[in-house]
Amino acid sequence: MSNKKPPLNPHPLSDYVAWAGGRNREPILNVLKQKLPENPGKVLEFASGSGMHMNYFAPHFPHLQFHPSDKDTEVFDAIKKRTDDEENPNIVDPVHLDLTESDSWTKLEQEGTFDAIFCINIFQVAPISIADGMMECASHLLHQDGFMLIYGPFQVDGSFTTASNQEFHETLRSAGVSEWGLKDVADIKAAAAEYDLNLAEIVDMPVNNFSLIIRKN
């Protein structure tokens, strides 16, 4: 993959998403190294896409079992191929999980709770309403001492933290898709509170992004 930025395309198997993932995977890994448990456990990813992040993270945590999931089953073959190619035995097969449909995550409840959940670069191309389902799902699936990490660019209290984030927001809005654009941390925090979850930490990340750490109260 070239270092040149490809045209904006949020499809999980696009060159743009692969380029963005190549830039952010190491900083996110550094946060996970500080947060994930040292004992055996399970980690769930929402909206795994091509599986590039999970396959990059998994070798660093051989004691953890990683569970990819996605709303779009068309990406499952790509996830499984990448997992096989990179020989990551601690990644299980992907499962269908639609954050707007509670029936799709109640099946996961039968397997027990997860020590961590992570979700990367979703909200700039998803409606803020999806936060409600995400928090309800996390409230059911997270271990009491677990956490959820949400990574991406956000507004903070109605303002852009940098000119580049405002420019990115305007680029997204110019595509003419109503749900595209930077969401506000305050809305994520409010959605969490509805399900007895707490925005415990905001971690500043490179290129003007954030990692939001959500925990149970």
Q: Which amino acid is present at 141?
A: L
Domains of the chain as residue ranges with CATH: 15-216 (3.40.50.150)
Share of the chain above pLDDT 70, in %: 91
What's the chain's average pLDDT? Answer: 89
Please give the pLDDT value at position 1: 45
- The closest of 160, 215, 201 to 31, measured between CA atoms, is 201
For 88, 183, 198, the CA distances from 158, given in Å and listed in that order, are 41, 9, 20
pLDDT band at 211 (very low <50, low <70, confident <90, very high): very high
For 150, 151, 172, 173, the CA distances from 123, given in Å and listed in that order, are 9, 9, 12, 13
Q: What is the mean pLDDT of residues 82-96?
A: 96
Please give the pLDDT value at position 102: 83
- Going by the DSSP 8-state scheme, the letter that residue 93 receives in this structure is P
- Other Cβ atoms closer than 10 A to 185: 20
Look at 76-80, 96-100, 109-113, 181-185 and tell me which has the smallest mean pLDDT.
109-113
pTM metric for this prediction: 0.90
CA separation for the pair 19, 82 (Å, rounded): 16
Please give the pLDDT value at position 13: 57
Q: What is the mean pLDDT of residues 86-94?
A: 97
Q: Residue 62 in contact with residue 87, Cβ under 8 Å?
A: no
What pairs with residue 44 in β-bridges?
67, 117
CA separation for the pair 147, 138 (Å, rounded): 9
Q: What is the mean pLDDT of residues 54-62?
A: 97
Does 176 score more than 90 pLDDT? Answer: no
Please give the pLDDT value at position 2: 47
